[in-house]
Structure formats: structure tokens, C-alpha cells
Structure 1
Amino acid sequence: MILMTKQPIQAAATNREKGKMADDLTCAVCSEAYAAGNREPVMLPVCGHTFCRLCLFHVEGSSSFNCPTCRAAHAGPSVVRLPTVYALLNLAESYRKSNRSKCSEHGSTLEFWCRECREPLCGHCLLGSHVREGHQVVKAKTFVDEKSKEISTRGAQLEKSIKDKKVTLVNNIKNLITRITICAEESELLNTSVEKAYGILKDNVKASSIESVLVSSSMMDSVVMELHKLSLISSFREENGGRTRCKSRTETEVIQGLDRQESISEVEWQVLPVEETEQTAPPKEQEQEAAAARGISRVASLENSREANLPEEHAPAGQASNRNENPSNSSIGAVGGDQHDTPKRNETPWPLKCCVITSEGRNGRLKWENNSIHMYALAELTDAHLMFHMSLLQSLIPSDKPEVFMDLRVDGRILGRIYIRLQGHLRRAQHFLALCLGTLGPSYRGSKFHGVAKRGAPGETLAGGRYVTPEGTSGKGLMKDLEWGGKCMQEKAVGRVVGASGGKSELDAFFHICTRDHEGNKFACSFGQVVSGMEVVHSAVRQMNCAKSVIIADTGVTIPSLLRQQ
């Protein structure tokens, strides 16, 4: 009997001690336990009584107040300036933690978990009812381990779900930027076609010979072909299939591609109403001009044709277009007009132009070429209508294998474009990418290739890298600790893009493009590979053999499209 009565007596004593401690750790005004924040304990310096800060805020007057317990006057610092009693605060936190692991009825440690009642148990609770009633009880540690493993599994699933949703969101953003860039490209092509058609129809009114009529017909076929391109660009956004790389071509091949013509009979025509415009010509010429305008509306309203084949690629960037001079001040109906006219209120600017912009205000063109977005080196453009921040577009560039492009020019004519895939994990590749984009200031745009190393021999290379600065040219590196030698050494093979600094930081911007294999020999630091346009590189070597200057007319980076991968 003594053993049976001793336990309840001890439990009662423990409960009384716990009750007294709980009273000491609660505010006498609100009876809430002290806690960090508004409920932190503060002491009145005159009487030494402690309350939570929030309750003292409520009793604080304009200058003084009385202690809620002993009514002693307090005229010291304001409540907000009274120091926190951290010893009492820490004790309250420790008490809460210990109380959570003790049985509120028996004061014993909670060592078990009842799966049916879904509550923690001490030994007395276990023997009292749960075992007799056949409940499934496990040790607290078993339950904690099971729950911890479950939480870890669910956390991993949640993390994967969040990552997947993030990838989807980023892809949606990339597709949105792609579609906007394509729309801008379409507006430029449409604007050019309308200007050309206007000029053709205007000349056709005055045509009086077979030769002039045939010339006009041939030029009109060319405009129709350009509108076929517009239709195919539009259909590209809707079709599924794999992304294809269009090979870079020489200037002659590009011209041959642009000269391809389609029969007008293969295209369906749709007549649209033409907006009336003010006429300044004589009556007879007014009728002729109106007929020309109606013809233009028919050209501009061609329905999309998906049966034609898109030429392998657009003319290289920088190549002069065959535009006619801008038309007169007369409007060209609802399709377009003089691109230099000031847009009217609520009128869309035309043609649309996209660019990337940095926090410093520098920007670069965005173009849709070769089935991907091309982001050109930064400059000081001001006429773009749609702008995307550089940080956003940089996040869409593949970090492991970024791809840059360079347009090469000789004596004012474009040789073609080369694409270089970089080894993104190398700092030297990131340095090269920065010089192609101009993100660190200067860029390779406008720089010259300065020589051909080992001309005609194995291991021949085209040498470049003197970027342009306001003070002249420089080959100094813009980043530190660029790789040289070691694991970066690779065999001399055609298309390799390699460092040419000799390990010297003042020449870190120099690079070579290998044009002849040299088996058994290695470059000290290879960081990229030409994936398209090696014929352009070979052409550049031939031009330099003739003592001609080869210039990087433009450069930038590509952002792959996902439109055809979904």
C-alpha cells in the first residue's frame, strides 16, 4: 500500500512545483506565458515587478503610470526602452520545451505513441487503458523515426515538384520571348515587302514596254516569296518537330536563295478594303495610284501557305537589303506606311523592334534567325519598342554549352556567319562569351582578325581577339584566373577555338580557330568548337592570304527555342 500511495503523492508535489514555475513565467496581467516579441518580459526598475511588454503598453500614460501589482509610480524610461529580462525569457522557453515532452496528467516522460488515438503516452497512460483496449502502441522513437522519414520523402517530392514547375515556368517565359521576337521579325519583313510592292506598282503604272513589265513581274514574284517566308515563320510557331540547324552559307549562296521565286498562281488572294488617303496627284494619276494601292492590299493579305519550303537561312546579319526608297508621304492603306512617320495616338509603332537592356541602359538587338533568338552584342540603341532585361535573357542561355555567333565581313561584303559552341564550365569560355555580348564593356564587334598562323601547314589557325575600345584595340583579359594547359589541352583539330595568350593576362582576349588538323599535337587551352560555318572560316583565311582585312561585323549569343520541342 505504501508503494501505491507514494507515486500519487510525488506526482502531486511535482505538479505543484510545475504550477508555481508556470506562474512565475507568466505575466500577472494577461496570464500569458512570456515569449519573444510583444510578450517578452520587462522589469519596472522602481519595484522590480515583471510584466510582458504588451501589457505595459496598454497601461502606459503620456508620462508615467503605476505598477499593476503594487501601484508604485513609474516615471523612468518609456516601455519601449525598458530592457528585456533575457534570463526569464530563456527560462520560459526551456519550460515550454520540457513541458511538451512531459505528460500533463502524470508528469512522466512521453515515451510511447498510440496509432489509434494519435496521441503521445507516458507509461501510466499506456498501462491505464490503451493496452487493455488493444490499441496499437509503438515507442516514441519509432514513431519519430517513421515520421521523420515520411517528412523527408514528402519534402523531396515537394522539392522535385517545385523544380519541375520552375522549369515549366522558365520554358513558358522563353517561349513568350521567342514568340514576341518572331512577331517583331514578321513586322519588319511585312513592312519591307509593302514598301517594295508600293514601288513596283507605282512603276508599273508608267510601264510602256515588254522589258519594264517583265521586270515588274519578276520583282513582284520576289515580294511574294518574301511573304511566303512570313507565312512559314508564322507556321513555325504552330508545328511540332525537332529543331534543325541551318548551315551557314557564303554570300553567293545567300543571294541565290533570295532569288528563288514562286509562281503567283500557287497563292490564294484575298481582297481587303483599303483605307482612303489624301491624294495630291492629278485626277488621272489619282485613279492609277488607287489601283496600285488596291494591288498592295492584295499582296499584303496573302494567306499563310505551308507548302512552300523556307530557304535554309536568312541573309547574314549586316547584309544590305534590296529595299526601294521610302514611298511618298501618302499612306499605304491599313497595312503600313512610311516607317519614319510619327505614330498616331493609340497606333502600334511599325515595324516592331525588340532588344535586350541592361541596368546601365545599354542594349542590344534581338532577332529571330535560324530557328532561335539571336541576342546581339550590346550597343547604344534607342529605337526598340519591346525590351527584356539582360538578367532574364542570360538565365535562358544554356550554361553548359552556350552558343555564340560571328558575322564576318571583307571589303564591305558579308562572308557569312559562324556558330561556336563553348565549354561553359571553363572561365575562358565565359570570358569569350562576355566579349561576344559586350557584358563587361567592350566586345569583338568591329575587331579584325590579325593573321594566319602556320599558313598552309598542319595546325593552321585563323588568329583574332583584338577587341575595340574607345582608346583603340586591346587584347587584355577582362576576367582573372583563366585556364591554361593541364586538363584544357586538346588535340589540334579543325574547328577548335582555342586560347592564344601563352598564359599571359594581357593577351587573354586572343583566340585562334583551327583550320587544319595536326595529329599528335595539342593546343594549350581549347574552350570551344565551330559547329556551323567552317567554310566561312576557310574563306576568311583565303581573303587574308590576299592581304584583305577580315572584320567581325557583328557578334552575339543564341537562345534556343522550345517551340518545336513541345
Structure 2
Amino acid sequence: MEDAVTCAICSELYQKGPKEPLVLPCGHTFCRTCLNKVFSTSLGRPTCPTCRKEMGDLEHLPICFPLLSLSSEYAEFKVLPARVAMERMRLGLMKELEGLREEVRGRRMELQDLARELVSKTRQVSDLENKEVEAPGGLVCKVDNAVEGLSTAVHNACCLEDVLISQDKLDSIKEEQDQALTEEALNIGRRSVLDFDNLYDTMHKKTKETAHTEQELCERGGRGESSIPVLYARLDSQDERLLLDCLARPATTNLSLQLPSEVYLELSAGGRRLGRVYIRLWCHLRRAHQFLALCLGTLGPSYLGAFFSHVAYLKQPKETLCCKEYIRKDGSIGTKELISDLEWGGEYAKNPVRGLVIPLSKNVDEHGFGICTRSQPNGTFHCPFGEVVSGLNVVKLAIRHEPVSEVSISQCGMVVPDITF
């Protein structure tokens, strides 16, 4: 009964207005809102999401009044099936957890800013061989870890009881968060009354023991690929300004900042969030700089709102989820490269390995990228420019979605670089 009176795309109940059921020429029925989205995002003649037959003109599609009447009667029962209630509660908890996670991250950044402000006031160096200063954010990290653990539990919830238990845990985490943030702020406040010379010297000494230099390389899993350096730039405080030193002098002392190299894509389909994919870019390549610009929108266009086009080599070695477009500021679709003289083939070619991010074409008027999910030892990718470090399961979920052209990039951006002491 429920399946008959709900839209197969958005799973919402048919009702008068935007959610009224429209009958396609092929006989399948969907709500007006979902069909509007199909029409607006289709590059050619729109087709039925179920059988792929042409849909015709949206304005002339008839309303299925018997189904609309049946849906109204069904709504009057005022009773939700347990699985529907559980799913709504689970999604609500996921939304709350996401908001809490973002709040924790924001407060952690505030704590880091405060720590940097303390360091900027330091002017002299003295010996403190037997003293340690705890890095800020320890308690916040504990709360953050609790949020991540609960997020996994909510995602895997299989019954209403699991969801209710998760709700109780969420309330407890919120209380712990308030306590942790208050205590952490007090700890940092106490440090402000310490001798700033001592604080500077302690950080200086600890950095000498665990310094990151430009010689530190990313391992490539023993596959024989060329290693990519992780570069750190030295942070300094002079003339009441925070300075980022030239890379010609490697960061070996004091504060250092890892250069931006990690971005993320949030994938969604049919109004449902699939998850985030985190990608480490190989920033010695121009293709990586173009990808970073499209994740941030610094050149105007961005991936925000773009749809994936197809899956190459589906269920075979070299299987790749492909996206051919980006979105301009005016909302139109772009398909051309943004940077000229991009790398291709030769020394840049590598074997297809799961997780690699690749270009789809070497032509300047054909932009596109793909994410590989299956390796092929004897194959070739002409110029991989990054790799997935987390979220490859989200890419596989997108590949399994029917049709894959409904999968979009609902959010994208850059992971804030690490600051080390």
C-alpha cells in the first residue's frame, strides 16, 4: 500500500500541488517535483527514470486522480510503518550529528587561533628542559571521536530500538561537549598568564624532536609509483603579522603549516546524502591545481551542483565513476578545461589502481574526471593527479545507484591544512 501511494524517486506521499502524481506515456508515475528535476537536469530528451523511455512534454502529462485520492485516504490513517519512522528518526539523528561535528570542528579552530595568538606574543627564548605544554584541543578531540563513533552506530541502525538508544547517547555527548569546550578554554586561558618565553622555548624544543621537513614523502602502498612530497611551510610572527615563509627554506622549527593538498566531494542522489569522498591531490601537477580550483570555486566555476555522467568499465577491472561537467556562476554547465597545457601520458602515465583520480580527456574543450574503484595491473591511466584517502565506499554506493546520472556533488571544498608545533 505504502509503495503504491509514494513517489519511487523521493519516497514522499503523493498530495495536491508539487507532489501530485503525473503519469508518463510509458505508464510509470512520479511526483511533479521529481519530474521537474529530471527535466531541468537532462542534457537531451528526458527519459523515464525506470524504463528510460522518452517522457514527452511535462505540461501535458495527466494527473493520476485515483492515485491522488488513494494517497489522501492513506494519509488520514495517521500511522507510520515502523521502518519509515525509524528511517526518519535515523536521518534526523544523522543531521544533528553532522551539525554537532561541524560545531566541534569550528571550536577546535577557535582554540588553534587562540594558541597561535599566544605564540605571536612570544619574544624571547629560555631553557625549560623539564616542562611540557599540552597541545590544545585534546578534550575537543575526545568529543569529536565520540561523535564519529555514534555517527557510525546511527548509520548502521537496523531497528527502532537502536535509533532510540542513539538519541540518548547524542544527548549525553552534547553535555560532554559543553563541558569539554569550557574546560579547554579555561586551560588555554591559564596558559595566557604563563611566561610566554617559556611557552615559546617548549614548542621550539618539541619541534626539533618531531619536525616535519620537505623530505617527508607519501608512501604509495609499495606499488612502485613515484613518491609525492608532503610540504610544510614555516609560520612566523613578526610586526604583529602571521607570516608564511618561502618554501625555499624548509619548515624545521617553530610552527609549520602543511600546504593545501586534500579536498572533499559530498555525493548525493535522489535527495539522499551518500557521504563524503576525501581526495589527496598531487600538487606538483597542473591538473591537481585545476581540480583544487573547481573544488573551491576560486576561478569562478565549481563542482557544486554538478552531476556524474556514467560509469566506465562497469563491474570490470578499471571501473571508474565519471563526471564531465562543472557549474558556472550563472548556473550553466561548463565542459572545457580551465588551465592550459595540462599533463597527459608519457612520464605521467600509471597503472590503474583503485582510488586514483584521473582526467577523462586530453582535449582542452573536454573537461572531466573519474574515480577508479577497481585495479587493472596491465592497464594505463594517462595522468592520475590524486588519490582517495577516505570514502571510496561512497563512490561504490554512487556506482550502484540507478541511474548514476542522478548522483550529484552536493558540497565540495578543501580540508583545512594541519598546523604543527
Shorter-chain TM-score range: 0.3 to 0.5
Larger Rg, first or second structure (1 or 2): 1
